[in-house]
Amino acid sequence: MYCGTNKTAMESQRQISRTLMELISTKPYAQVTVTELCRTARISRQTFYSLFTSTENVIVYTIRSRYETHPVQSAEVPCGDTGWLCREYALYITRNRDFIRLLVNNNIIYLLHDSIFSSLVECSCFLPGGSEASRRYAADFLAGGITGVARSYALDGCHGDAVQLEQLLSRFLHGHFA
């Protein structure tokens, strides 16, 4: 994926992203071809491949640029507190319900998992003092759980608000599954 600062290239990335989101809202992601995407976005295949490696890479770009998953740690919340994680991801899920529904409907929700995993690993307040290996295992576990809750939320018609999801995530995180 292109990560430079060329304004024309960056605008082409945004155009490709917008176009792919429009296409997969009307037809299955698996049926969208690079040729169709390029034609609809009015860019050449050469431009596409200079910016992205695949349509999946466009979805990753879209998550990073428009649907960032980094939890916001406020100064009042001590590092290591899991309540803020539950709150931030519950808000994330409810605020981005349409996008999450689009990922679920197109069987590409796993890309959200990868984004959440990366954001947790990169967060200095996530398991401070833990070994890198334990932080990665914990991040993978939590990303799987959060992604699963997001998937179920979308499949359930996006019923419930952020407070309900926060409580649900907190119960699961503390081992209460009933």
Whether the predicted pLDDT of 99 surpasses 60? yes
Which pLDDT score, from 0 to 100, does residue 128 have? 80
Eight-class DSSP state of 161: -
Which pLDDT score, from 0 to 100, does residue 174 have? 84
Write the burial class of residue 74 (CB in 10 Å: 0-12 exposed, 13-18 middle, 19+ buried): exposed
pTM, whole model, 2 decimals? 0.84
- Domain parsing of the chain, residue ranges: 7-66, 83-173
Which pLDDT score, from 0 to 100, does residue 173 have? 86
If you average pLDDT over residues 23-40, what whole number do you get? 96
Could you please state the CATH topology (level 3) that the domain comprising 7-66 is classified under.
Answer: Arc Repressor Mutant, subunit A (1.10.10)
Whether the predicted pLDDT of 76 surpasses 90? no
C-alpha to C-alpha distances, 45 to 4, 36, 145, nearest whole angstrom: 19, 10, 37
Nearest by Cα to 129 from 64, 65, 80:
80
Q: What is the pLDDT of residues 19-30, one digit of tens each?
A: 999 999 999 999
Which pLDDT score, from 0 to 100, does residue 119 have? 87
